[in-house]
């Protein structure tokens, strides 16, 4: 009986983690579409620019990963693009 409960809990945890990743991915796509259609700047970019101006690049990368669900490399590229004025 205990094995069954543990198995169900593990299955539910894995499912929730997978769904969370999918939602973050969808948010990223939405932000990209908004960028291409000329929708005003993403609200997250203001906060990221503040972190960058304070020299907190690592915190900015962390915030991008949490908010947009990007990989470490993608988040670093996103921050670099903000720093260079491309976003």
pLDDT 10s digits, 53-68: 999 999 999 999 998 8
Q: State how many domains the chain has.
A: 1
What was the pLDDT predicted at 86? 57
User: 16 lies in which domain range?
Assistant: 2-83
Helices (H) and strands (E) in the chain, counts: 4, 0
Is residue 87 very low, low, confident or very high in pLDDT (cuts 50, 70, 90)?
A: low
Dihedral through CA 29, CA 35, CA 39, CA 40, nearest 10?
A: 120
Residue scoring higher pLDDT (60 or 40): 60
Question: What's the predicted TM-score (pTM) here?
Answer: 0.54
CA distance 29 to 68: 9
Signed CA dihedral, 56, 59, 65, 70: sign only = positive
Residue 24 backbone dihedrals phi, psi, to 5 degrees:
-60, -40
What was the pLDDT predicted at 35? 79
């Amino acid at each position: 009986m205990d094995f069954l409960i543990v198995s169900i809990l593990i299955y539910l945890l894995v499912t929730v983690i997978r769904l969370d990743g999918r939602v973050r991915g969808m948010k990223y796509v939405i932000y990209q579409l908004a960028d291409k259609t000329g929708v005003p700047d993403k609200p997250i970019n203001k906060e990221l620019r503040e972190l960058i101006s304070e020299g907190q690049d690592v915190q900015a990368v962390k915030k991008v990963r949490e908010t947009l669900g990007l990989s470490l490399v993608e988040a670093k590229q996103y921050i670099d693009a903000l720093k260079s004025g491309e976003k």
